[in-house]
Amino acid sequence: MWSLNEIVKSTDLKLNELFKPGMVFFIEAIIVALLAISLFAILGLVLVLMERKVSSFMQVRLGPNRVGPKGMFQTVADTIKLIVKEGMTPDNADRFLFHLAPFLVMIVAMILLAPLPFANGFQIWDINIGVLFVSAVSSVSVIGILMAGWSSNNKYSLLGAMRSGAQIVSYELSAGFSILAIVILSGSLTFSDIIQSQANGWWLFKGHIPALIAFVIFIIAATAETNRAPFDMAEAESELTAGFHTEYSGMKFALFFLAEYVNVFIVCAIGATLFLGGWMPLHFGDNTTFNHVMDYIPGIVWFFGKTFFLIFIMMWFRWTFPRLRIDQLLNLEWKYLLPISLINLLLVTVVAISGWHF
């Protein structure tokens, strides 16, 4: 199977020949940081353009088509506009927390990249509790949102932040139970082990109906956790202007905007890793010929292909369903998704103990 592991090993070997171990660690940390920042920048440009093109497709219109061929450079123009735009700070705002909030949200998103395996052997940190690490760190982002809403000294911002806090805390339960279903089936909290457990088939297919139910609940909960429509009550334009980032402009607003799309990528990458095999090619049991053909496609192509497929589904939601009221949003979680998740977790446990999965 084609792998980036050789590139990683050869780079590490070359650096160890030239520098001392302490310096090697420092250089490799800088390389990883630059790659992560570059990925964030590219994702921001690509996903915003993808959002606009998907929305135009859903609404049978053209979308961006002026800047560059077929509007390809529209997001570049938007980025330049945000860079040169003046950043304003409200007079009565808590200036320290107001400036800290967008950076906190971005830092959390960058930390979440660490345990994600982009390809075979191409991973920043293969921690043995990767699933638990992601679940714990992702909860910190709500602090940045609450911080932004409170420090802005704006009633719309505060209402949006409180809505977001209630929404994220609520839907984390269903998302966590869906993730726990795959942990039970694979018997590991390590992302690399979970991917290896799908070498003969993805859990979405070989986990029977409980895995499918967990996948559907995860996608719904992930959409809500990232404040995406139809769960965008934290940014409801018709009620709250722009929600928790009403008072932000310039690059601080751009950081919130970028963090939203990066978080969409991360939750979809987690979903692709847990349910769709991550970088693992599509394999069907002992079908040697088919599996061998699938192995020719690089793992990183599989990973990004599955992730962007899930991103497309989340964008499809946005342009299909109307926005929910806050009471409908919380009723969906506490009265429906959470009980279904608990029952489904019991079913998954029975399937795993009985060995009924493929």
The 3-state secondary structure of 323-338 reads CCCHHHHHHHHHHHHH
Beta bridge partner(s), residue 119: 122
* Local confidence pLDDT in tens for the 358 residues of the chain: 556 677 777 887 888 888 888 888 888 888 888 888 899 889 988 999 999 999 998 888 888 888 888 888 988 888 888 888 887 888 888 889 999 999 998 899 889 988 999 888 788 888 888 899 998 898 888 888 889 989 988 888 888 888 888 888 889 999 999 999 999 999 899 999 999 988 888 899 888 899 999 999 999 999 998 888 788 877 766 666 777 888 888 888 888 888 889 999 999 999 999 999 889 888 776 777 887 888 888 888 999 999 999 999 999 988 888 888 888 888 999 999 999 999 999 999 998 888 776 6
Type of residue found at 350:
V
- Whether 48 is covered by a domain: the verdict is no
304: three-class secondary structure by DSSP:
helix
Residues in Cβ contact with 143 at an 8 Å cutoff, skipping those fewer than 6 apart: 104
In which domain, by residue range, is 322 found?
87-354
- Whether 35 is covered by a domain: the verdict is no
The structure's pTM equals 0.90
- Whether 187 is covered by a domain: the verdict is yes
Q: What is the dihedral of CA 55, 57, 59, 60, to 10 degrees?
A: 150
- Whether 259 is covered by a domain: the verdict is yes
- How many domains does the structure of the chain reveal? 1
- Whether 129 is covered by a domain: the verdict is yes
Type of residue found at 334:
W
Q: What is the pLDDT of residue 3?
A: 61
- Whether 8 is covered by a domain: the verdict is no
- Whether 12 is covered by a domain: the verdict is no
Q: Please state, as a whole number, how many other Cβ atoms lie within 10 Å of the Cβ of residue 62.
A: 12
Q: What is the pLDDT of residue 357?
A: 67
Residues in Cβ contact with 90 at an 8 Å cutoff, skipping those fewer than 6 apart: 98, 152, 153, 154, 247
Type of residue found at 177:
F
Q: What is the maximum span of the chain, computed from C-alpha positions, in angstroms?
A: 68
